[in-house]
Chain A
Amino acid sequence: MAQALQIDWLGRVAYGEALRRQQELLEARRAGACGDRLLLLEHPPVVTLGRAARAEHLLTPRAALAARGVEVHEVARGGDVTWHGPGQLVGYTIVDLAARGLADAHAFLRAIEDTLIAALGALSVAAEALAGTTGVFAAGSRPPRKLASIGLGLRGWVTWHGFALNVTTDPAAFGDIVPCGLHHVAMSSVARELGAAPGAALFERARGAVASAFAERLG
């Protein structure tokens, strides 16, 4: 398991641009031209529909979203519909599972959950994974308050896509969708769980905590 994981912070990147970057790295990783990578970034407002997305989980007509500058992308990842935007820490994991001896896509989902839970713990947010659903939730919250969404793409045994952690996101930003098709789940954020003011300092702390947790567990 002595696989190196290179972690890069890309800043704010348009969804399409990040997708191209992921695909380049995905092919490079499959060809063995680079090692495992974790891209950390933030997107301008965008709604993405996974392969399992149901049309009715997009609540606002596309034209209305476009008028507000919110892009809509259909992407080859598992999962339903989600939103990305400012205040959300997005992580794309380009990881060769077979090379790590972990040829189990769902075990990797669980590993991402556990890593995010560790990172949230370092930020003093108690978080948990829930049986039967993928994602990270505020510990003990009923109905569950979701902090991070996870969805993976797999080409051969190399993963792409990854997770989106709401750090200082305005939960109202999710008003256009039924996140992940889960009607009973409320979206939350690190700032909200801490009762802290959403700000750049908190986002930076979260970025540091997530990077450290991944470096420790997958580095």
Chain B
Amino acid sequence: MSISVELPALGESVLEGTVARWLVKEGDRVEQDQPIVEVTTDKVDAEIPAPAAGVIEAILAAEGDVVAVGAVLARIAPAGQAAAAPPKKEAAPKAAAAALPPPPKAPAPPAPAPAPASRGSAPRATPVARKVAEEAGVDLRSLEGTGTGGRVTRGDVERARPAARPAETPAAAPAPAAAAAPRPAPERRPFTADFGHYAIQEGDKVVPMTPLRKLVAEHMVYSKLTSPHVGTVAEVDMGGVARLRAAHKERFAEAQGVPLTFLPFVVHATVRALREQPALNASVVGDAIVEKKDVHIGIAVETEKGLIVPVVRHADLLSLAGLAAAIEDLSARARTKRLSADELKGGTFTVTNPGRQGNLYGFAIINQPQVGILRMGEITKRAVVRETEAGDALVIRPVMFLALSYDHRAVDGAPANAFLFRVKELLEQAEFEL
């Protein structure tokens, strides 16, 4: 009586394997536990050992065949009852083919009228692929098979299904919202409703978008679709900074060779607040929030060609003078188009200062994949109430509205407001080394 060598279940998610290589031939004598055949499944090459010593009586699967778990790969005549009939070498491959489960062939279409749910027009696919496709609701006809003879494999189906590993997804619950695997960034789907089009008329001026304009446009839409933006505003008394600036402006310009603007003060305060509250110096990565160890500040610069955001790297390691010099250098080169691609990458937070007029405050769009952006409003003299020893008084102060947009996926209101308040506090304390 011969012993069958079956393809063992190599794993819960493994339902079939490909015969990669026979290590023995029919008629060979094998020891117990000697590997006789290699079977591959995705990323695993399993050597199947002989369950007992004996002679290989029949090999029942050819190299390249896809076999199901439990299928018989070979038969061994146990030692002592060596095969009575010598194996017929010539006949082996044919015998093997005959013993295999019939390869799935595309069945003839049942009727000329193609019923939508009919399997008749389904392409060639492995039985497992068919089963998985059915469970996952994947239409086999939409897939291009990569298996032998263009057959659709289980891998093809899994690549096509929306999310999660099979082991993690209960077969009966294809609820997309429950998917545990990291989701790709939302895709921009064309809107289904028609919101109207403008028909260009004679006399209209048509300005084609430059590549930069298109990129900016894409990024803005992408950011708005990706991050739920929330805005919050602080009123900042810039009196201290203005006094400091006025006192050092000329000497600074002479010594450093760059003008002393308000921007480096704001960036300096921002960086210090980010160091204290790293939640704003972060990115959403898959299902995680990653707080970054480095602080690289993007500075929005409006150029002739459009909006560019060069990055001051390691802004937390720079003095106020260092920040002023870096910002000046980057914006000058942004305007003359002499920035390298690397200088536009890797920002962890952005500060934008879009100008002095008509800019009380406004909310910027987050520079992806960051989670926050600060927008400076114009600095104007306002009448504000201050407490003095003689009681409350109306005083005239240079005031700036500072607006923070943050990604509510990553940051809640309280920490975002605390961060903004800290920036305001640092600017009002005006303790900067010059």
Chain A residues at the B interface, C-beta cutoff of 8 Å:
30, 50-52, 76-79, 104-107, 109-110, 124, 126, 128, 130-134, 139-140, 142, 150-156, 161, 195
In the assembled complex, how far is the CB of residue B105 from the closest CB belonging to chain A, in whole angstroms? 25
Residues on the B chain within 8 Å of A78, using CB: 40-45
Residues on the B chain within 8 Å of A131, using CB: 158, 163-165, 181
Residues on the B chain within 8 Å of A105, using CB: 10-11, 14, 41, 44, 46
Complex CA–CA separation, A134 to B41 (angstroms):
12
Contact partner of B12 (CB less than 8 A), chosen from A30, A106, A130, A142, is A106
- In the assembled complex, 11 residue pairs joining A and B whose CB atoms fall closer than 8 Å, in A order, are A76-B21, A78-B40, A78-B42, A105-B10, A105-B46, A126-B286, A131-B181, A151-B43, A152-B43, A152-B45, A153-B46
Decide if B40 touches A140 in the complex (CB within 8 Å): no
List B166-199 residues whose CB lies under 8 Å from chain A: 167, 181-182, 184-185
Residues on the B chain within 8 Å of A104, using CB: 10-12, 14
Determine if B33 is an interface residue (Cβ-Cβ < 8 Å): yes
A-contact 0/1 string along B35-78, CB 8 Å cutoff: 10010111111110100000000000000000000000000000
Complex CA–CA separation, A52 to B43 (angstroms):
8
Decide if A76 touches B45 in the complex (CB within 8 Å): yes
Complex CA–CA separation, A123 to B44 (angstroms):
28
Q: Given the known inter-chain contacts A51-B21, A106-B10, A106-B13, please indicate yes or no for A152 contacting B285, CB distance below 8 A.
A: no
Complex CA–CA separation, A103 to B42 (angstroms):
16
Decide if A79 touches B12 in the complex (CB within 8 Å): no
Contact partner of B45 (CB less than 8 A), chosen from A50, A132, A156, is A50
The A-B contact count (CB < 8 A) is 108
Contact partner of B38 (CB less than 8 A), chosen from A51, A133, A140, is A51
Determine if B115 is an interface residue (Cβ-Cβ < 8 Å): no
Residues on the B chain within 8 Å of A79, using CB: 43, 45
Determine if B346 is an interface residue (Cβ-Cβ < 8 Å): yes
Determine if B288 is an interface residue (Cβ-Cβ < 8 Å): yes
Determine if B258 is an interface residue (Cβ-Cβ < 8 Å): no
Decide if B46 touches A132 in the complex (CB within 8 Å): no
Residues on the A chain within 8 Å of B46, using CB: 105, 153-155
In the assembled complex, how far is the CB of residue B6 from the closest CB belonging to chain A, in whole angstroms? 14
Closest residue on chain A to residue B146 by CB atoms: A181
Decide if B181 touches A154 in the complex (CB within 8 Å): no
Q: Counting chain B CB atoms within 10 Å of each CB, which of A51, A79, A134 scores highest?
A: A51
Contact partner of B159 (CB less than 8 A), chosen from A77, A128, A132, A155, is A132
**Known pairs A51-B38, A132-B161, A140-B285 / 15 extra A-B pairs, C-beta < 8 Å:** A76-B21, A78-B40, A78-B43, A105-B14, A106-B10, A107-B12, A131-B163, A139-B290, A140-B286, A140-B369, A152-B43, A153-B44, A153-B46, A154-B46, A156-B47
In the assembled complex, how far is the CB of residue A119 from the closest CB belonging to chain B, in whole angstroms? 16
In the assembled complex, how far is the CB of residue A86 from the closest CB belonging to chain B, in whole angstroms? 24
List B62-103 residues whose CB lies under 8 Å from chain A: none
Complex CA–CA separation, A124 to B47 (angstroms):
38
Determine if B344 is an interface residue (Cβ-Cβ < 8 Å): no
In the assembled complex, how far is the CB of residue B415 from the closest CB belonging to chain A, in whole angstroms? 21
Decide if A128 touches B43 in the complex (CB within 8 Å): no
Residues on the B chain within 8 Å of A156, using CB: 33, 47, 49
